[in-house]
Structure 1
C-alpha cells in the first residue's frame, strides 16, 4: 500500500503533463499534416520563414510558390506554415457543399 502512495503523485503528474502538453501538441501536428495534404494550386500560403506567396505548382513533396511577378521559389511541403487563403476552385466546391446541405434541410 505504501508503494501505491509513492507512485500515485508521479502518475498524477504524468497525467497532467499529458493532458496539457502532449495531447494538444499531437492534435496541432495532426491538423498541420492535414493542411499540408489538402494544399492545392492557387492557395495563398506563408512559409515557416515568413515568405508569402501563391502556389503555382505541386509535386509529391515539392511546391513552387510565386512570391512576385517572375519570381518563383521551390519549397519542400513541410516548409509551409499556414494557408492564408484557399484558391477560388476550392471555395466553389465548399460553397456547393453548403448549398446542398441547405437544400437537404428544406
Structure 2
C-alpha cells in the first residue's frame, strides 16, 4: 500500500527509458546498413555500369563460366562467339566479368 521512494523516482523517468530501449535497435540497423546493404548497392551499380558499357569486341566471362568475344550487342542480349564459327546468345545481366576491353581506335590527324 505504501509506495517506496525508489518506485516513485522510476515512474517519472518513463519517457527517456522508452527511447533508451530503441537506441540499440537503431545502432544495429545503422551498422548493418554500412557493413552489408551499402556495399551490395555499390556492387550492383558497378555491375550495371559494366554491362551497360559492353560493346562489340569485348572478351567476357558469363556467370555460367563461358568465355567468349562479343560479336553483336542488342537491347538486353549479346551474341557471343565462344569458338570459331560458334555463336551463342546471352542475356546481358549474366555477364560476370569483362576480361579484355577493346579500346577505340584514335583518329590520326
TM-score, length-normalised on structure 2?
Answer: 0.80
Poorly superposed stretches of 4+, deviation over 2 Å: none
1:49-68 matched pairs, under 5 angstroms: 49-68=64-83
Aligned equivalent of 1:71, options 79, 86, 89: 86
- Which structure 2 residue ranges, 5 or more long, are not aligned? 1-15
Write out per-residue CA displacement over residues 1-58 of structure 1, whole angstroms, 9 at most, x where no aligned residue. Answer: 0111100000000000000000000000000000011001000000010100000000
Counterpart of 1:19 in structure 2 is 34
Question: Which structure is higher in helix share?
Answer: 1
- Which structure 1 residue ranges, 5 or more long, are not aligned? 97-106
Number of aligned residue pairs: 92
RMSD over aligned Cα atoms: 1.4
Q: Which has the larger radius of gyration?
A: 2
